[in-house]
Structure 1
Amino acid sequence: MLCQFTVKNFKSIRDEITFDMQATAISEHENRLIKDKDGELYLPVSAIYGPNGGGKSNVLESLHILVAKILRPLYATEDSNTYPFQMKKIVIEPFAFEMIKKEKPTEFQLFFRTSQAEYRYILMVKKDIIIYERLDRIKLDTRRRSALFERSDEEIILKGVFTKFKISDELSETLPLLSYLGITYKKNEVIKDVLGWFESGIAFLNYGNPIQELRMAVANSEAVKQLMIEMIQEMDLDIVDFRVEEKENGRIEVFTSHRVNEYEAELNLSEESSGTRKLFGLLPFIAASLLDGTTLIIDELDAKLHPVLLRHIIMLFNDMEINRQGAQLIFTSHDLSTMNSEVFRRDEIWFAAKGNAENSKLYSLVEFKNENGESVRKDAKFDKQYLEGKYGADPYLKKIIDWGKVNV
């Protein structure tokens, strides 16, 4: 699972920001938390709100860029059609509005957990060149901490279980050491554990082609298809089944079966509403995440999705009877119908907004304090106060207009 992610000097993100999936000590929906084997508590969902251009998408994109930076070398010799989004050219852009920041590296720090350990991975990159890299581990059963490697401009130091590894003297300065180890020592248990999370423990939607990827998601698992059908029926749609048909040149077509009373008819997915088409782009990944316990990242989850369906999807992850594997859903949204204390804890609501220097800021509702130093009450009307601009991330305007001061 994703524990915590920090990024600095990336696109609109000038200063260090941290996105945290660790649960804070608040008395809200305590039965909706993921409890790991060592007793640590994590959030199953988090939503980022804010105005267009505030930096919501850049927060998620920075995480996507980091994951792609690691995976791309691993897939470089394989069929690129199988891994389309990972094979796209990676461009790591620093903060654009300060010359000094353009000359500084972009910094990433990632904490994540597998069934065996918690890892901390640090990567600093300047114009595609690796400036610094480090990997550390804490074993969950013994709580033993160990450094695995550290790389700087001057040297590479292998530590712990990596001590016996050999590194080429001609290691490319643009190639992450973690990727190199994945290529060279892919059978090593620790390497498999770390890179297994990058490959299968986290997934991104809206960076590829969801409908095309539906073929792989459904074809690989009958359980995914069955859970999709169950979710569709729970949403009170009249779709009782669907099938995926292979066409020439790798194209697919999806056909949905509808039943109204005793009459059943089949439609091409292209004939369905935009909302239904969006569901078929989403549900394979929702189902796979819940079944496998992965972290699913979605930009603009609410786009073309009815608020009732949006709430239903969120509550699937909140329900620990359904979400038995510890899956996580992280998304950006403009929809305010779900911004309330029934759906979210305060530490699950995040805001992205721009400062005076066009720099994005990120903070959660639980850490927000007003000008009097008061925290937001857990029974507050989150959506209403957000619209009033009380959380510092007005959804529509850079500044609130005080209509009482306007001459009429």
Structure 2
Amino acid sequence: MFTRVKIKNYKSLINLDVDLSAKKKQPKPLVVIYGENGVGKSNFASVFFTLCESLSTMLARTELQKLIDRNDLKDLIHDEEFRKWIAENLKDTESIIKSCKTINSTENMVLEFEFVIENKHGRYLIEYDDSKIVHEKLEYVLNKNRTLFFEIAGDKIKVNEKIFKDGEYLKEFYDLLEKYNGKHSFLSILIFEIEDKADGYVKQRINERLYEVLVSFILMSVRVKSGYGIERGFRGLRHKIFKDLDEGVISIEDEEELNKAEKMINEFFTLAYSDIKEAYYKREKIDGKIKYNLFFKKMMYGKIVDISYELESTGTQALLQIMPFLLMSVEGRTVIIDELDTGIHDLLINNVLCNISDSTRGQLIITTHNTMFLESPDINPEYIYTFFVDKDANKELVSIVEFEDRTHPNLNYRNRYLKGMYGGIPFTRDIDFEELLEIME
């Protein structure tokens, strides 16, 4: 869970320092971010997605090679849409830089994260120039005190030998660091090693604290907007079916998992919607597999009608898509959701967030335009942030309580936000649409 994020030259965020800590430097369990369109909310959420991508460049390289080697995909390799999918989902370091570094910036892109895992504080920094990683550093608690785990700056590689239990493996890993220096991060190489080697081989040869950091980062879940599309950062889900709650094919041995998902979805949607009487999966068993599709029994004009999930409203579909992320935050993971409220009724999403706010054992960071959250007695005002932009277009992302001399239970934060007292709202002049039409004619 994160207590501070520092960003330099990342997309539209030139210089941003965001404090996400509560009292005693503990991470806030909920962070709700407001701001006008185009101010950088999605870019801030994307920072965490970029962290996930930086952990996966070695794995992406291997997956790409597997695709290239597959005979059944040789015709697709030159297909424009397929190549676009590869570019979006299997990024190397250079691609990350190209898509994330501020346009026309001559300075390096820097992402720095301060975090807490099991009450132990740490800091991770990764810095890029125009084509490669030029600086990477991890500090975390070893035994009782926070210390340097590793730092790589250009050709200088410094590794704390205590984070490795096996001297031979340290030498082997050091060779990998020199070989891939600048192309892949330390953590990316280590994650690849864990996946590539025999089960448990690497885990037995590195310190428990280093593995603790890796697991915390890998299990982070991120959902961010990219233009009209959506990127998902599913990492290490304990329930595989969370990836395909609407439809899919599973082994018949996994039917119990499907039964649990059906029960969970039925519980949620029958409570959230008055007209949904039941949620269930239509199943077809073929050759030891189960093909399933989600359906709802709905009351329509006095009759119960079976409706396929794919025919449901965008709001209902959006709710199902964010459910796994919300459950991950309850389980204790770090979860980032960009535009939580997209397509969902204000009252409904307000009820969902208020209900989950007391259940989150991890950290839930969301961006939103729904101002109802500002009036909710279940959401601590200290958890609500807004982008403030000064006259020179310098940006800050701060908690709204920093704008007040003192907090008061009767203070109407929503009214004060809508009046522009916290920034984060658009100020526009009157628009004459008849004049716009005249220009075209």
Partners of 1:75 and 1:83 within 8 A in 2 = no
**CA distance in 2: counterparts of 1:284 and 1:297, whole angstroms:** 12
Matched, 1:9 2:6: no
Distance 1:376 1:11, change over 3 A: farther
Partners of 2:374 and 2:381 within 8 A in 1 = no
Q: Find the residue that maps to 2:180 and give its secondary structure.
A: coil
Paired residue total: 366
Distance 1:84 1:327, change over 3 A: farther
Could you tell me which residue of structure 2 aligns to residue 149 of structure 1?
150
1:113 shift after superposition: 3.5
**CA distance in 2: counterparts of 1:199 and 1:226, whole angstroms:** 28
When the two chains are superposed, the root-mean-square deviation of aligned CA atoms in Å is 3.6
Structure 2: give runs of 5+ residues left out of the alignment: 68-81, 195-201, 234-239, 286-290, 431-441
Q: Find the residue that maps to 2:52 and give its secondary structure.
A: helix
2:326 to 286, 300, 314: 286
Could you tell me which residue of structure 2 aligns to residue 35 of structure 1?
none
Q: Which structure's residues are more often helix, by fraction? A: 2
Could you tell me which residue of structure 2 aligns to residue 126 of structure 1?
129
Distance 1:6 1:127, change over 3 A: same
Could you tell me which residue of structure 2 aligns to residue 201 of structure 1?
220
Q: Find the residue that maps to 1:53 and give its secondary structure.
A: coil
2:412 to 381, 391, 406: 381
Structure 1: give runs of 5+ residues left out of the alignment: 26-39, 401-408
**CA distance in 2: counterparts of 1:58 and 1:127, whole angstroms:** 19
Q: Which has the higher contact order (CA 8 A, sep 6+)?
A: 1
1:384 shift after superposition: 0.6
Distance 1:114 1:93, change over 3 A: same
1:267 to 282, 290, 307: 307
Could you tell me which residue of structure 2 aligns to residue 332 of structure 1?
367
Partners of 1:341 and 1:378 within 8 A in 2 = no
Could you tell me which residue of structure 2 aligns to residue 318 of structure 1?
357
Counterparts of residues 15-26 of structure 1 (less than 5 Å): 15-20=15-20, 22-24=21-23
TM-score (norm 1): 0.77
Partner amino acid, structure 2, of 1:203: V
Q: Find the residue that maps to 2:162 and give its secondary structure.
A: helix
Distance 1:358 1:243, change over 3 A: farther
1:111 to 114, 120, 135: 114
Could you tell me which residue of structure 1 aligns to residue 180 of structure 2?
171
Question: CA offsets, 1:356-401, max 9 Å, x none?
Answer: 44443211112225xxxx35545311111111111122x221799x
**CA distance in 2: counterparts of 1:307 and 1:104, whole angstroms:** 41
Q: Find the residue that maps to 1:16 and give its secondary structure.
A: strand
1:172 shift after superposition: 3.6
**CA distance in 2: counterparts of 1:104 and 1:56, whole angstroms:** 22
Could you tell me which residue of structure 1 aligns to residue 280 of structure 2?
242
Distance 1:244 1:150, change over 3 A: farther
Question: CA offsets, 1:289-347, max 9 Å, x none?
Answer: 32x32122111111111112212221233224xx4xx1322111111112125132122
Q: Find the residue that maps to 1:170 and give its secondary structure.
A: helix
Question: CA offsets, 1:232-264, max 9 Å, x none?
Answer: 2221442422327699xxx98532233689965
Partners of 2:381 and 2:401 within 8 A in 1 = yes
1:349 to 384, 387, 390: 384
Partner amino acid, structure 2, of 1:47: V
Q: Find the residue that maps to 1:285 and give its secondary structure.
A: helix
Distance 1:246 1:95, change over 3 A: farther
Q: Find the residue that maps to 1:77 and give its secondary structure.
A: helix
Segment of structure 1 superposing worse, 81-90 or 108-117: 81-90
Could you tell me which residue of structure 1 aligns to residue 75 of structure 2?
none
**CA distance in 1: counterparts of 2:400 and 2:283, whole angstroms:** 45
Distance 1:240 1:284, change over 3 A: farther
1:60 to 13, 26, 45: 45
Could you tell me which residue of structure 2 aligns to residue 405 of structure 1?
none
Question: CA offsets, 1:132-170, max 9 Å, x none?
Answer: 11111126xx64322210110131100152364231232
Distance 1:260 1:398, change over 3 A: closer
Question: CA offsets, 1:244-287, max 9 Å, x none?
Answer: 7699xxx9853223368996532111222222121122223323
Partners of 2:354 and 2:376 within 8 A in 1 = no
